A and B are shown apart, each in its own frame.
Chain A
Amino acid sequence: MTAQPPMHPKYEVVIGLEVHVQLATKSKVFSWSSTAFGAEPNTQTDPVCLGMPGTLPVLNGAAVEAAVRLGLAAGCTIRPRCRFSRKHYFYPDLPKGYQISQFDEPICEGGRINFRLHGEAHSVRLTRIHMEEDAGKNLHAAAGVSFVDYNRAGVPLCEIVSEPDVRSAEEAAEYVRAIRALVRYLGIGDGNMEEGSLRCDANVSLRLHGETKYGTKAEIKNMNSFKNVRDAVEHEVKRQAALLDRGERVVQETRLWDASRGVTQSMRSKEQAHDYKYFPEPDLPPLVVDEAFLSKVRASQPELPEDRFARYTTKEGLSPQDAGVLVADRETAAYFDAVVDSLAAGAAGAPAKKAANWVINEVLARVADPRELGAPSMPVAAAALAELVTLIEGGTLSGKLGKDVFAKMWAEKRTAGDIVKAEGLTQVSDSGALEDACKRVIAANPDEASRFKENPKLMGFFVGAVMKETGGKANPKSVNEILRKLLG
């Protein structure tokens, strides 16, 4: 494990991120219409989220619970008393002319997001996590007009603001991925960047290596995939480095990532300084999160990726690489745990490593999205995979046959036992038949047999030959024992 070289040889790259996470509540954060994605425009609205005169926000308890869950998972301090503020700007997607957000007293402060990249542990400090409402969507049509859809207006958001701790484009993308994993683990959102349920803005600046003062930053927006995050930051670093190399200055501004052209572009039209005129939201009294609320959330907090990683690498004896793959998604980890649990019940030796191999090499290889592992449509349930592994460990199937059987299980949704029985695949464990086969192989290879005592590595050769002799049906473990006895 060696430290990665800096992203840029001359400049240190300094990145702080603001990630918006939509919380998967049923109803909106301050009103009662549905938050479901993809409905017909303006069919999921109510007078409150449309900002109609005289309407008032009433806070959704489930959104508070989700924010607290996220804050606890990220190790934040949860404010016993926080408040909402109005953030003002005029834009058609913002129905009230202000967004109800949090300003000077956010619900969560401090904390960190931990992740691993190239085997290295990273920990990005958080400034805060605050709650706010989402805006609607503006759609830009051709003929001099734009359209507004308020279905998204009022969907609850958590905005996660990091300290400028990120040092490369790759780290930035991995940080966002770690947030997505966390959000999914906690079950508070789906973290789908393409649908906008997870959005990322990056503040990027450069400074000479060794310099302690921060350079001027540009804020990059509109990155709607992990790849976008990496590409946009990479592009921005190149752009700023070129400016600095020419002795020019970076302008503090907001730039939009244009994925199709692979460039960030200044939003010059918005250069007028923003004055959000924050002030405490008079329509909502201060929010109190007391110890009772906290303990309720803590009690139902799932095991988090970091804790699972620690458990897998220590108690279960997995490699960090395998553990990293398994904890990346809650469904993968849960599936893996279920396989191990079933195996443990069947008392197979060292089940975790075997289960990990199967999950990583066979199961994950067959799904487009790891979340499918938690779906009812999953072709091979954890218990079914455990059954297969048990058949192999018990000597009924060889490893090679096992893979064929697994392919059939996946394709036909049948159990391993079924397939083995129906197709006569049972491995030859009968010691008499095996002993005959072994004897035939030894007789056919006298030279190797005579050299076995000096070179025990020839065992592999013999086992392979016996397997060939038996059409792959021999139990390798029994073959080993018999050969050792005959050659010994």
Chain B
Amino acid sequence: MASGSRIRPEEVREIAALSRLRLTDDEVAALTSDLDSILGYVAELGELDTSAVEPMTHAVPFDCPLRPDEIQPSLPLEEALANAPRREASFFQVPRIVPGPAGSGGEEDL
């Protein structure tokens, strides 16, 4: 694939939206060219035959250790909230949000 053809600025903007990154036009231009050259480089992996190998997801060969079900002290409320850019009473505060993604649900109106 020729340089400059792997990714278009519109796609960069889409990815930025998925990544929740507001980018300037200059950043979009720079990232379009950067990602294009990186994607061009990594395309060389395509020539490697990997059909016979299992994906290596972990560098450790052992199984998941299990923790005993024991409660340790929680963070004191003030420590939990100490780093919050905004708090209100004992809550973290965010701009008003419209209810829920496909998560596990947990919406309540005060």
Direct contact of A and B (CB under 8 A): yes
Chain A interface (Cβ within 8 Å of chain B)? 20, 25-27, 32-34, 40-47, 50, 58-64, 83, 89-94, 99, 132, 134-142, 144-150, 152, 157, 159, 196, 199, 201, 219, 221-222, 254, 256, 267, 269-270, 274-275, 280, 282, 284-288
B99 touches A267 (CB 8 A): yes
A137 touches B74 (CB 8 A): no
Contacts of B92 in A (CB 8 A): 42, 92, 147-150
List residues of B (33-83) whose CB comes within 8 Å of A's CBs.
57-58, 60, 62-72, 74-75, 77, 80-81
Residue of B with least CB distance to A41: B90
B101 touches A274 (CB 8 A): yes
Complex A-B: 9 CB contacts under 8 Å: A27-B72, A61-B68, A99-B104, A132-B104, A135-B106, A147-B88, A149-B92, A270-B98, A285-B63
B94 touches A34 (CB 8 A): no
Give min CB distance, B104 to chain A, whole Å.
Answer: 5
A199 touches B93 (CB 8 A): no
Contacts of A274 in B (CB 8 A): 101-102
Bound CA span A284–B63, Å:
9
Q: Which of B58, B95, B104, B108 is within 8 Å of A139, CB to CB?
A: B108
Bound CA span A136–B104, Å:
9
B104 touches A145 (CB 8 A): no
Bound CA span A139–B107, Å:
6
Assuming A137-B106, A138-B107, A147-B88, is B67 touching A61 (CB within 8 A)? Answer: yes
Bound CA span A93–B104, Å:
10
B66 touches A140 (CB 8 A): no
Contacts of A43 in B (CB 8 A): 74, 77, 80, 90
Q: Which of A58, A89, A146, A269 is within 8 Å of B93, CB to CB?
A: A146
Q: Which of A89, A147, A159, A282 is within 8 Å of B110, CB to CB?
A: A147
B91 touches A42 (CB 8 A): yes
Contacts of A280 in B (CB 8 A): 57-58
B103 touches A93 (CB 8 A): yes
Bound CA span A419–B72, Å:
50
A45 touches B97 (CB 8 A): no
Bound CA span A141–B96, Å:
7
B104 touches A134 (CB 8 A): yes
A147 touches B91 (CB 8 A): yes
A-B contact count (CB 8 A): 185
Bound CA span A157–B106, Å:
13
A40 touches B60 (CB 8 A): no
B64 touches A285 (CB 8 A): yes
Bound CA span A46–B98, Å:
27
Is B100 among interface residues, defined by CB-CB distance under 8 A? Answer: yes
Bound CA span A63–B68, Å:
10
Assuming A99-B103, A285-B64, A286-B63, is B97 touching A140 (CB within 8 A)? Answer: yes
Dominant SS at the B interface?
loop
B75 touches A45 (CB 8 A): yes
Assuming A40-B77, A146-B93, A286-B63, is B109 touching A33 (CB within 8 A)? Answer: no
A275 touches B18 (CB 8 A): yes
Bound CA span A3–B110, Å:
45
Bound CA span A103–B20, Å:
23
Give min CB distance, B99 to chain A, whole Å.
Answer: 7
Give min CB distance, A180 to chain B, whole Å.
Answer: 17
Contacts of A47 in B (CB 8 A): 75
B69 touches A61 (CB 8 A): yes
Contacts of B95 in A (CB 8 A): 144-146
Give min CB distance, A79 to chain B, whole Å.
Answer: 13
Bound CA span A58–B69, Å:
11
Give min CB distance, B78 to chain A, whole Å.
Answer: 10
Contacts of B109 in A (CB 8 A): 139-140
Contacts of A42 in B (CB 8 A): 77, 80-81, 90-92
B64 touches A256 (CB 8 A): no
Is B105 among interface residues, defined by CB-CB distance under 8 A? Answer: yes
Give min CB distance, B74 to chain A, whole Å.
Answer: 4
Q: Which of B64, B93, B94, B105 is within 8 Å of A222, CB to CB?
A: B105
Bound CA span A277–B5, Å:
24
Give min CB distance, B101 to chain A, whole Å.
Answer: 5
Give min CB distance, A131 to chain B, whole Å.
Answer: 11
B101 touches A91 (CB 8 A): yes
Contacts of A221 in B (CB 8 A): 100, 105
B74 touches A46 (CB 8 A): yes
Assuming A139-B109, A282-B58, is B65 touching A20 (CB within 8 A)? Answer: no
B93 touches A145 (CB 8 A): yes
Residue of A with least CB distance to B69: A62
Contacts of B63 in A (CB 8 A): 285-288
Contacts of B104 in A (CB 8 A): 20, 99, 132, 134-135, 157, 159, 199
Contacts of B69 in A (CB 8 A): 25-27, 60-63
Residue of B with least CB distance to A273: B18
Give min CB distance, A42 to chain B, whole Å.
Answer: 5
Give min CB distance, B89 to chain A, whole Å.
Answer: 8
Contacts of B110 in A (CB 8 A): 139-142, 147
Give min CB distance, B106 to chain A, whole Å.
Answer: 4
Which 10 A-B pairs have CB atoms at the shortest separation, nearest pair first?
A: A61-B66, A147-B91, A62-B69, A32-B72, A288-B63, A148-B92, A280-B57, A287-B64, A137-B106, A33-B74
